[in-house]
Amino acid sequence: MRTQSCRIAAATRKRVVAADPLRSLLVQALLTETAGLLLDERTDLVDPPVAQVRMQRDGRLTVDGREADAAAVQPEVACATGDLFFRGGAAPWFELLLRATSLRWFQSPAAGYIAPYDPLFERGTRVTGAHVNAIPISEYVIQAVLAHFQRAGAWAEARAAHEWRPHEFREVFGTTWLVIGVGAIGSAVAERARALGVRVLGHRRRPTGEEPVHEMLVRGALLDALPRCDVVVLAAPATPETTGFVDATFLDAMAPGSVLVNVARGALVDEPALLAALDRGRPEAAILDVFAAEPLPADSPFWDHPRVVVTPHSSAGGLARHGRVVDLFVENLARYRAGRPLLHEVRPAGRAPAPTWLDERARS
């Protein structure tokens, strides 16, 4: 009986929305096209529903499939999926958010703080991050290191030449990795590396004691540990404390044959120092998904360096992450309506970060 009543209520709400979809419901939500489609699949979890305003891939705004005037849109909340950053729509999206003075909360697909949030913070808009990228980023790290160790490029070259060229390769099993930034992403990397028989060392500014590593290191112990590390993975946020974290001194301490992987932010690495270190052969290679300047300029020496793998900030490209961010939006929407704390709230730069699920798990 209750289900039938809910259906009747939902149908009534839909008729009301059709009459004036921009003003008839309590919460108007600005969504990327992907977020809107995925939210439609979760309508039974959102009660009352929201009035959807969708930004299409070409930048147009639509309501119920009809084009809407940006001046008439007054969203209270917003949710973006990560494909926004892959298709070049980030700039118009943030411009739209800045024009929407009605906006009170934005659910971002990014994990932590990024500079475009600052104008939102200045006018009191809340921003929540989404720890939904750990799975694809950690899979990217594992495949990239395996490809380097196994010299996968040699197989591709042999195939292109139609030549049968067997070769031996280095095993990941029994190696030692250092993960800098053992948050959600770093933890996912550590868990997968351990499953391959890797000994994992970790570093985190505020350790919880629950990090899935064999040994946690304070910052002062890192230089002494680097000579025994075969792989160093950067997964920490960009903060004043982490800017230039990997400098000439850090690089000089890395082991011969070691690999540096950066899936964090380009600001963590002194790029000229890294290029000089690669020329000296220590580290042996760098797998870089992020850079100080993005897109990477066409004349950057990283493009052609024989010891560098360049990918276009796409390690988080797993398709299932979009559903995870919308699931988080649904949960946070319920919290927002009830006046409860939002999950993964992002603080302005320089302020203490909000608790994450890792912190909550450690306290439980």
Amino acid identity, position 68? A
Structure tokens given for 67 = 């084009």
Structure tokens at 19: 């009459």
Q: How many residues does the chain have?
A: 364
The CA angle 223-290-226, to the nearest 5 degrees, is: 15
| Residues carrying an active site annotation | 265, 294, 313
- Give the residue among 95, 357, 139 at the shortest CA–CA distance from 263: 139
DSSP β-ladder status, 51-55 and 61-63: antiparallel
Alpha-carbon 83 to chain mean position: 11
CA 159 – CA 123 distance, rounded (Å): 57
